Amino acid sequence: MQRRTFLSLCCVSVASLMPGQALAGAGEGKPRYAMVVDLRRCVGCQSCTVSCGAENAVPLGNFRTTVSEYALGGVPAEHRAPLVAVIPRLCNHCDKPACVPVCPVGATFKRADGLVLIDATTCIGCGFCVQACPYDARFINRETHTADKCTFCAHRTAAGLLPACVENCVGGARIFGDLRDPQSAVSKMLAAYDGKVAVLYPEKSTDPHVFYIGLSRCFTRADSIPQPLPITPLARS
């Protein structure tokens, strides 16, 4: 399968709907998108972070996706490096998103294809959704003064392209596709690793659709989640 072309999407008429309703309706009859992150292949290079920032004009210091580092196993022995887990983070495009019901103006919504999006023309920048997200995947864009986050590069998927982070992952750690298509790369990956796939913070009951292979058990138990190590902001030319 060519990485750059794997989707064939059609347009729908939404002119008669309100802004949020129109955008929500745009996914009707479409696939159910999801992502698998194979942590065995992630090298923590942050190429996903850089490519996402460039593709989506993310302000410096903010991230729609990034790779966080977590120190595991307590204090390392002398002269030994700490055991570090690298976890790519992004919006989980949940089936039961905590961000949607708290939005007072209906600017945050979930499409039928599974994408959780923000209508920037309606968003008032109150930050309720930022606080509600258990994955720390949202921020207030200081340039637009609205909520911002990963969209699975909706503008790219609509054109038949993969999200920028997937296309630019040097290790091939990110797999994206349609869960409703058993022949898609993401469906095949989930089938091949049935029983070995995990999600972040399942106790939140949001039904996230970013799945991880090789995820440490401490990220699936609420009482043992390690604190992330400091992130060094990346500069973009």
129 membership: H or E segment, kind and range: helix 128-132
Report how far Cα 43 is from the mean position of its chain's Cα atoms: 18
CATH number, domain with residue 188: 3.30.70.20
User: For position 4, what pLDDT does the model report?
Assistant: 38
The 10s digit of each residue's pLDDT in 76-100 is 555 555 677 899 999 999 999 999 9
Tell me the mean pLDDT in the region 28-39: 87
| Model confidence pLDDT, tens digit, residues 180-203 | 999 999 999 999 999 899 999 999
Q: Residue 143 domain-assigned?
A: yes
Assess if residue 234 is contained within a domain: no
Per-residue pLDDT at 6 exceeds 60: no
- For position 131, what pLDDT does the model report? 98
Q: Which residues of 198-237 are buried (b: 16+ CB within 10 A; e: fewer)?
A: bbbbeebebebbbbbbbbbeebbeeeeebeeeeeeeeeee
Number of domains in the chain: 1
Residue 3 lies in a domain: no
Reply yes or no on whether the pLDDT at 29 is more than 70.
Answer: no
CA distance 103 to 89: 22
Is there a contact between 150 and 64 (Cβ–Cβ < 8 Å)? yes
Is 229 among the domain residues? no
For the stretch 103-145, pLDDT in tens is 999 999 999 999 999 999 999 999 999 999 999 999 999 999 9
- Residue 237 covered by a domain: no
Boundaries of domain holding 196: 19-224
The whole-angstrom separation of Cα 55 and Cα 181 is 27
Q: Encoding tokens for residue 131?
A: 């606080």
In a domain, 82, yes or no: yes
The pLDDT of residue 218: 73
Specify whether the backbone of 200 is left (phi greater than 0), alpha (psi in -120 to 50) or beta: beta
pLDDT at 39 over 60: yes
Domain annotation covers residue 112: yes
The stretch 42-54 carries a mean pLDDT of 97
Say whether pTM exceeds 0.85. no
Assess if residue 126 is contained within a domain: yes
